[in-house]
Chains A and B, each alone.
Chain A
Amino acid sequence: MPFSRRLYGAISLSLITAGFLILALLVFASLWFSNQIRVHNHQVVLNESAISSANSALALIERTEAARRGFLLRQTEGYARVVDMAQDQIKEPLGKLKNALTTLGLGDLYTTAETLTDRRMAEIDASIQMVRSGDLEGARNAFGQTDGQADLVSLRKTIADIVGQEEAELQGGLDRAANSAQYFFITAVLVVIVMLALAVAFYFLIRRYTAELNSSAAELERLNLGLEDAVQERTADLQHANSEIQRYAYIVSHDLRSPLVNIMGFTSELETGLSDVQAMVAKIEETDPEVVTPEAKVAVQTDWPEAIGFIRKATDKMDRLINAILKLSREGRRVFTPQRLSMTEFVTALADATRHQANEADAEIKIEPLPDIISDRVAIEQIFSNLIDNAVKYLKRNEAGLVKVSAKDLGRNIEFVVRDNGRGIQANDLDRIFDLFRRSGVQDRPGEGIGLAHVRAVVRRLGGTITCESVLGEGTTFRVVLPKVLRHEERERE
């Protein structure tokens, strides 16, 4: 089953959307994982800082203890200075430890450690001051009698606690960071696999679609070729039929002419003879009135001339009709020579030709700006002079006439509109008016009923159409749609 363009669109759109969603997921995951890793790293730094500062604080306290003992034994000022300096030095590791432990949520542990440290440092300081003030004995007594030893032991335990806990946490943090990295890697690999799968799917989709496009293009081309052949065949048939009809019309009209020559010729002969007879009858009437019967007189003077008159009228009309058919069939065989026509000026000139009748009918002919076309000059002249002439000819007598010619661009074609406010055409006559020898409405104007038949034939030959709208008593509008450029095929006909 061929795959519809719509289905292709839906599938490719969903593939692309899936690709984008997965990419977005990857970006989100990488952000999340990197944040995780950052958090873990921060914790690890804090853990390390807590461990190292706890260790250095303990080392400093142990050193201070040792210096105190040394001072009690030897009163060397160097030991006392160590203790003095330690009072300051202890602040740095304690500060770091406080910072790390409060951040890690072990503030209680820190408070314990700080209290114990402060107490130890205060006692040591007190004992140093006692020695300096000369009370060596008091200081020595104080050493060992206070709860100092117990404090030191619990301080060591607290520090060991801190270090132990932090080391465990450090290990956990490192593990978690490693896990995060691993998860991230797995996610990335999965994303890459899915993307590859999508790409492959997309590739096959496009391949299949392209193949189908190619085959349908080939099919289309085949159909097109067939169509062109069919059109050419039809056109040839039509042209053939058309030229057949034209030949037929031509031959018929010629063959009709031949007897007409006889009818008219011998009618003339009769007329010539008749005048002799009339002269003779007149002469006999003078010399021998009884010989001339009234019937003979009427026949010679009234009936025969009348009969001859009717024969002449009929043959004259027949002659005009035959000439019209001849003209139409000849027109159908005329070869068009397309040229650029500036329609505004051209139609104005055609309208000027009917200016005299227009003035007589108190009518105005208004030509709006018209676009140029490339067409056959004679054909266009025949179309517009007939339409304008008709419009002027069938205006209402009791009203100022207005004939308007305008145009509308239809892309490849132009619609020319000839509108009048004349007497209009009955709705059931609208088709008839384009037929040869058919006329509509009151027959008070000369004409054979040829103009519009001719116009329609010419318009069709130019590859256009003509339509008529009319309201009886209000006016008529003729719309002529003509190609902007007379097509090549039309030029080459015959």
Chain B
Amino acid sequence: MTQPVTIIMIEDDEGHALLIEKNIRRAGIYNEIKHFTDGTSALNFIYDTKDGPLSGLPVLILLDLNLPDMSGTDILAKVKNEEGLKRTPIVVLTTTDDKVEIQRCYDLGCNVYITKPVNYDSFATAIRQLGLFLAVIQVPDTAE
């Protein structure tokens, strides 16, 4: 029996978070979305929750790079270097479309990199497509 995937959204901008959630729902994805506005609380959840991701809760992480307390790439590196978490899919969803930054994220092990388009239609389309992607993605069973 597979447990439903929890989506961890680390996004400091409440507006963005709401728009992302709305569009994911519109794409027909009704998985639980846990929203954190800073890196510290997100890491606390990932590492310290009983029955959390480290204990086998299947998760997918939506990550913004510009966070108030730390850089998103730090979280990316940390999660991808953790034995129990390294297969967790991470989708970087950020405003930066700098090539160097994108390469760096892929080097650190990010699975998908999406630039938030300012144009809302493109933004909505991108998120809905992400939703479709999430619907078919197979999240590995982290608890072996």
Contacts and interface: CB of A to CB of B under 8 A. Distances in A.
B102 to A, nearest CB: 13
A262 B13 contact: yes
A133 to B, nearest CB: 154
Q: Which of A250, A255, A261, A322 has the most CB of B within 10 A?
A: A261
A300 B22 CA distance: 24
Interface string A306-330: 0000000001000100100000001
Given A254-B95, A257-B118, A258-B66, A265 B13 contact: no
Interface in B50-86: 66
Interface string B114-138: 0010111101100000000000000
Contacts of A250: 98
A287 B19 CA distance: 35
B123 A261 contact: yes
Contact of B13 (A254, A258, A319, A330): A258
Nearest to A271: B120
B104 to A, nearest CB: 15
Contacts of B96: 254
A265 B15 contact: yes
A290 interface: no
A32 to B, nearest CB: 94
B15 A266 contact: yes
Contacts of A257: 95, 116, 118
Contact of A262 (B19, B119, B121, B124): B19
B16 A262 contact: yes
Contact of A267 (B66, B116, B120): B120
A264 interface: yes
B66 A261 contact: no
Contacts of B19: 261-262, 265-266, 269
A261 B15 contact: yes
Contacts of B118: 257, 260-261, 264, 315, 319, 322
B66 A265 contact: no
A17 interface: no
Contacts of A214: none
Contact of B15 (A254, A255, A262): A262
Interface string B1-37: 0000000000001011001001000000000000000
Contacts, number: 51
B120 A258 contact: no
A258 B119 contact: no
B95 A258 contact: yes
A275 interface: no
Interface residues of B, number: 16
B22 to A, nearest CB: 7
B95 A261 contact: yes
Contacts of A255: 66
A262 B11 CA distance: 13
A268 interface: yes
B116 A261 contact: yes
B95 A265 contact: no
Contacts of A254: 66, 95-96
B121 A268 contact: yes
A258 B13 CA distance: 8
Nearest to B65: A254
A261 B16 contact: yes
Interface in A375-433: none
Nearest to B116: A261
B88 to A, nearest CB: 26
Interface string A228-271: 00000000000000000000001000110111111011111100
A299 to B, nearest CB: 23
B119 A319 contact: yes
Contacts of A265: 15-16, 19, 120, 123-124
Please indicate which of the listed interface residues B16, B118, B119, B123 has the most CB atoms of chain A within 10 Å of its own CB: B118
A258 B16 contact: yes
A268 B124 CA distance: 10
Contacts of B121: 268
Interface string A329-340: 010000000000
Contacts of A260: 118
Contacts of B119: 264, 319
A147 B22 CA distance: 175
Interface in A52-111: none
A254 B22 CA distance: 23
A87 B5 CA distance: 166
Contacts of A259: 13, 15
A269 B18 CA distance: 11
Contacts of A269: 19, 22
Given A254-B96, A262-B15, 5 more contacts: A254-B95, A261-B15, A261-B116, A264-B119, A322-B118
27 contacts: A250-B98, A254-B66, A254-B95, A254-B96, A255-B66, A257-B95, A257-B116, A257-B118, A258-B13, A258-B66, A258-B95, A260-B118, A261-B13, A261-B116, A261-B118, A261-B120, A262-B15, A265-B16, A265-B123, A265-B124, A266-B15, A268-B120, A268-B121, A268-B124, A269-B19, A315-B118, A319-B118
Interface of B: 13, 15-16, 19, 22, 66, 95-96, 98, 116, 118-121, 123-124
By Cβ-Cβ distance, the 6 closest A-B pairs, closest first, are: A262-B15, A268-B120, A265-B19, A264-B120, A257-B95, A319-B118
Interface of A: 250, 254-255, 257-262, 264-269, 315, 319, 322, 330
